[in-house]
């Protein structure tokens, strides 16, 4: 058996099509949703991420603004900058790209973002709304996973779901979303006893441990759905040889470049699972898509533009 591949790229394109309709409806009401991205310093990886987010705004017709203070900025200076963005009515979403320089108190900065503009879903108010099952802005990666499951026709209600990882950004909100969708949820982490046995009982596995190829094929229940959130830069030649033994083309590309991107799940799990997300091209594209979706949602919630139901909710 070979697993059905759940393409994040294809699902992202579906979401973008829905969002274009939503944005057109808002523009007809004189509203153009706007996103401000704060990028501190010159971190190449962060620059790439923010530019891809700004490009997505341009593609969809959202207003975007990139703010690039120097890496010498203080916590107080950055707090003042966030405060200005909170007060600007044309800005519906505020994204503060992490990591921030060591001298900046990242928690104070994230907590200073107006919860109504918290498109990352990190603010304690956003988390509280998620816990309570109230409408609000949800962390982008877990929200994207739920879109993959929904749009791929994967049954969540009544399923045994295992979330591997307990981070505030992925693991905890992921478990809450699955629970609200009526799954029976187990959260695993580095201290979980008999981890393979726990994972084997799952109908849905969400792997977000940040360790390349950690989840072995024999951990997977035959026919289970596997969502691989991991995005690991792999440079270990011995580990690459083990992970890609059945994938000579990927191994050849690794040897040419000296590195590759891989997930938390061993690629051979695709021979056991019923459905699986690839890495790259699985969960990754959905993270930016849900940031765009959150920006549009924030515009509706902030401005009371509930006149027409969003196209995304109708699909």
Q: How far is CA 309 from CA 17, 20, 23, in A?
A: 15, 14, 12
> Residue 37: which CATH number?
3.40.50.10860
Does 76 reside within a domain? yes
Residue at 130 is within a domain: no
Same domain membership, residue 217 and residue 149: yes
pLDDT at 39: 96
Q: Kindly state whether residues 154 and 266 are assigned to the same domain.
A: yes
Q: What is the mean pLDDT of residues 141-149?
A: 98
Residue 271 a catalytic site member? no
Residue 236 falls in the annotated catalytic set: no
Asked if residue 291 is part of any domain, the answer here is no
Are the CB atoms for 57 and 292 separated by under 8 Å? Answer: yes
Considering the domain architecture, whether residues 111 and 151 belong to the same structural domain is answered as no
pLDDT tens readout for residues 192-247: 999 999 999 999 999 999 999 999 999 999 999 999 999 999 999 999 999 999 99
Domain termination site, one of 82, 115, 148: 115
In this predicted structure, what is the pLDDT of residue 306? 47
Question: Sorting pLDDT into bands at 50, 70 and 90, what band is 307?
Answer: very low
Do 100 and 44 belong to one domain?
A: yes
For residue 97, indicate whether it is catalytic.
yes
Distance CA 231, CA 68 (A): 26
The DSSP call for residue 215 is B
Same domain, yes or no: 152 and 241: yes
Regarding whether 194 and 155 lie in a shared domain, the answer is yes
Residues whose CB falls within 8 Å of the CB of residue 121, separated by 6 or more in sequence, listed in order = 127, 130, 136, 137, 138, 139, 140, 143, 173, 294
Give the pLDDT score at 43: 87
Residue 23 lies in a domain: no
- Of 92, 97, 118, 203, the catalytic one is 97
pTM for this structure? Answer: 0.93
Same domain as 150, residue 99: no
Host domain of residue 240: 140-285
The verdict on whether omega for the bond into residue 99 sits within 30 degrees of 0, i.e. cis, is yes
Residues 271 and 190 in one domain: yes
Query: Exactly one of 22, 53, 117, 228 is catalytic; which is it?
Result: 53
* Residue 257 pLDDT: 95
Do 57 and 194 reside in the same domain of the chain? no
Look over the chain and give the mean of its residue pLDDT values, rounded to a whole number: 94
Do residues 206 and 229 touch, judged by C-beta distance below 8 A? yes
Catalytic residue chosen out of the listed positions 22, 92, 118, 120: 120
pLDDT at 41 over 60: yes
Q: What tens digit of pLDDT does each residue of 165-189 get?
A: 999 999 999 999 999 999 999 999 9
Q: Which element (helix H / strand E) includes 301?
A: helix 284-303
Instruction: Domain count for the chain, please give it.
Output: 2
pLDDT confidence of residue 303: 82
CATH number at residue 204: 3.40.50.720
Examine the domain organization and report whether 66 and 167 are in the same domain. no
Does position 308 have pLDDT exceeding 60, yes or no? no
Q: Is the same domain home to 158 and 273?
A: yes
Question: Is the previous residue joined to 273 through a cis bond, with omega within 30 degrees of 0?
Answer: no
Question: Is 226 within the bounds of a domain?
Answer: yes
- 268, 7, 297: which is closest to 138 by C-alpha? 297
Q: What is each CA distance from 93 to 32, 87, 294, in whole angstroms?
A: 12, 12, 8
Total residue length of the chain: 315
């Amino acid at each position: 058996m070979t697993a059905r591949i759940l393409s994040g790229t294809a699902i992202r394109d579906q979401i973008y099509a829905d969002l274009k309709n939503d944005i057109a409806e808002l523009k007809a009401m004189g509203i153009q949703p706007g996103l401000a991205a704060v990028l501190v310093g010159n971190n190449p990886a962060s620059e790439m991420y923010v530019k891809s987010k700004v490009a997505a705004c341009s593609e969809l017709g959202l207003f975007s603004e990139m703010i690039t203070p120097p890496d010498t900025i203080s916590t107080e200076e950055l707090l003042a900058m966030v405060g200005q963005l909170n007060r600007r009515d044309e800005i519906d979403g505020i994204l503060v790209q992490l990591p921030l320089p060591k001298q900046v108190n990242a928690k104070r900065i994230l907590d200073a973002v107006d919860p109504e503009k918290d498109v990352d879903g990190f603010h304690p108010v956003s988390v509280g709304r998620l816990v309570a099952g109230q409408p609000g802005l949800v962390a982008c990666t877990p929200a994207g996973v739920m879109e993959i499951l929904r749009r791929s026709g994967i049954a969540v209600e009544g399923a045994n779901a295992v979330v591997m990882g307990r981070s505030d950004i992925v693991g905890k909100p992921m478990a809450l979303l699955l629970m609200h969708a009526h799954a029976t949820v187990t959260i695993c982490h580095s201290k979980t006893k008999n981890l393979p046995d726990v994972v084997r009982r799952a109908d849905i596995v969400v792997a977000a441990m940040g360790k390349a190829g950690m989840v072995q094929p024999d951990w997977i229940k035959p026919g289970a759905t596997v969502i691989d959130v991991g995005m690991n830069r792999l440079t270990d030649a011995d580990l690459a040889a083990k992970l890609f033994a059945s994938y000579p083309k990927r191994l050849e590309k690794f040897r040419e470049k000296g590195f590759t991107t891989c997930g938390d799940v061993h690629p051979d799990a695709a021979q056991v699972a019923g459905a699986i997300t690839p890495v790259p091209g699985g969960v990754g594209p959905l993270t930016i898509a849900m940031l765009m979706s959150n920006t549009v949602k924030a515009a509706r919630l902030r401005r009371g533009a509930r006149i027409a139901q969003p196209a995304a909710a109708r699909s």
